[in-house]
Amino acid sequence: MRIGLNAAFLGKGHNGISTYTRGLIKALGEHGSSDGQEYVVYTSSEDDVPREPNFKWRRTLPFLRAEHGAFGNSLRLLWTQSVLPRLLLNDRVDVLLSPLPESPIFSKTPRVVVVHDLIPFFYPEESPRLALYSRSVLPLSLRRAGGIVADSEHTKQDLIREFGIDGRRVSVAYLGVDDCYFSRNGLASAPSGCPDEYFLFVGACVPRKNPLGVVRAYAEIHERIAHKLVLVTSTGSYPNEVKRVVADLGLSDKVKFYSALPQHQMLFLYRRATALVFLSEYEGFGYPVAEAMAAGTPAIVCAGTSLPEVVGDAGVVVSPGDSGGVARAMIELALDKPARELLRERGLLHRKMFQWPVVAEKLGSVLLTAINGNSRIDL
């Protein structure tokens, strides 16, 4: 079987989808090499293509990368719909796997599309152009796909409800977490100024991620514990607003901000944190929660969307807007070591679902189904 991988968006940028795609390329190669599977990777980023005989690199224009913003996204949309179908035929690709929801609407090659979330659909203010794509092109692309993969059962239900997708055509495969987070021997080093005891928030600093909810819950308990609060987040106008609130609450000496940390420092923060506090209003999956559990750290998450599904019984789930409930959970995990250890042990069992071999095996079965046409629905 020859599998095409649509990775034209990959470049220098690092986010959840690029992390997923790079892990996917590596995992599918390892999973499929013994079965004689071949891979054709469409990308301008040669470094992301394994130097293995069963991998072939098809160079795409650098301008198609997501890092080029609206221009790159628009050009990539045209390329995906006009050029990519011909390349798939020329390369004799049996099935195309798109690790983000960009796929040809009209193509003779079966397609499997991965949908991570519907953030542009529900939160158009975060990315207006992607919101337009989600409401116009994406539904057509999904209806013509031979298979659809959702990051969570919650995302699957979003697709069924909002786009009228037949649930039998949607498979759920959780995201894979990098092997380093599972290893107790991986290289880890502390970022400058890291406190000894702390709660951790990881995520882009946008209102949907609710970093202010984390700060305000911590403000209720900071005088009762020695723990500090560490936020690993983005920079910009909204992060400055969060810092202003931190100052107004008198927490400037107790809240530490980091951004763009290398993986070995992220590993350190995950391992040493008392708990991850992740209160996002909407997530299709929630990478930080899975990474925390892989590293042996429990999580406090907000009920609703995918987060309770991802954390399972290995964390604390609180109601949306319940700042007092978050504060009580933080106090309990800070002071009750047996309770914290119980969640840690549950997380070490639960994290197996996020290992790449498990994810690759699931995706492999979806690809075979798409080739056989068992789930193909045409307009």
Tens of pLDDT, residue by residue over 90-132, are 999 999 999 999 999 999 999 999 999 999 999 999 888 888 9
Q: What is the mean pLDDT of residues 176-197?
A: 88
Angle at 81 between CA 90 and CA 71, to 5 degrees: 120
Residue with tokens 């983005």: 234
Q: What is the pLDDT of residues 10-56, one digit of tens each?
A: 988 777 889 999 999 988 777 655 567 899 999 999 999 988 889 99
Q: What is the pLDDT of residues 285-324, one digit of tens each?
A: 999 999 999 999 999 999 988 999 999 999 999 999 999 9
Instruction: Report pLDDT for 221.
Output: 97
| Residue 231, both tokens | 């936020």
Contact 188, 181 (CB under 8 A): no
> Rounded mean pLDDT of the chain?
91
Q: Which residues contact residue 138 at a Cβ distance below 8 angstroms, ignoring those fewer than 6 apart? A: 101, 163
Q: What is the pLDDT of residues 216-230, one digit of tens each?
A: 999 999 999 999 999
Least confident segment among 31-45, 168-182, 187-201: 31-45
Q: Domains of the chain, with CATH numbers?
A: 2-176+356-372 (3.40.50.2000), 180-354 (3.40.50.2000)
Q: What is the pTM of this model?
A: 0.91
Contact 111, 6 (CB under 8 A): no
Contact 146, 375 (CB under 8 A): yes
On the question of pLDDT at 270 being above 50, the answer is yes
Residue with tokens 């400058």: 192
Instruction: Report pLDDT for 4.
Output: 96
Write out the chain in H/E/C secondary structure.
CEEEEECCCCCCCCCHHHHHHHHHHHHHHHHHHHHCCEEEEEECCHHHCCCCCCEEEEECCHHHCHHHHHHHHHHHHHHHHHCHHHHHHHCCCCEEEECCCCCCCCCCCCEEEEECCCHHHHCCCCCHHHHHHHHHHHHHHHHHCCEEEECCHHHHHHHHHHHCCCHHHEEECCCCCCHHHCCCCCCCCCCCCCCCCEEEEECCCCHHHCHHHHHHHHHCCCCCCCCEEEEECCCCHHHHHHHHHHHHCCCCCCEEEECCCCHHHHHHHHHHCCEEEECCCCCCCCHHHHHHHHCCCCEEEECCCCHHHHHCCCEEEECCCCHHHHHHHHHHHHHCHHHHHHHHHHHHHHHHHHCHHHHHHHHHHHHHHHHHCCCCCCC
Instruction: Report pLDDT for 187.
Output: 72
On the question of pLDDT at 376 being above 60, the answer is no
On the question of pLDDT at 185 being above 80, the answer is no
Q: Which residues contact residue 322 at a Cβ distance below 8 angstroms, ignoring those fewer than 6 apart? A: none
* Alpha-carbon span 222 to 255, nearest angstrom: 10
Strand order across the beta sheet in which 299-302 lies: 255-258, 228-232, 198-202, 275-278, 299-302, 315-318
Question: Could you count the other beta carbons within 10 Å of the beta carbon of residue 323?
Answer: 16
CA distances from 240 to 205, 234, 329 (A): 9, 10, 27
* Alpha-carbon span 249 to 356, nearest angstrom: 42
Q: Which residues contact residue 143 at a Cβ distance below 8 angstroms, ignoring those fewer than 6 apart? A: 165, 377, 379
Angle at 300 between CA 294 and CA 303, to 5 degrees: 115
Q: How far is C-alpha 305 from the geometric centre of its chain's CA atoms?
A: 14
Instruction: Report pLDDT for 10.
Output: 93
On the question of pLDDT at 379 being above 70, the answer is no
Q: Which residues contact residue 136 at a Cβ distance below 8 angstroms, ignoring those fewer than 6 apart? A: none
Q: What is the pLDDT of residues 328-371, one digit of tens each?
A: 999 999 999 999 999 999 999 999 999 998 888 888 888 888 87
On the question of pLDDT at 377 being above 60, the answer is no
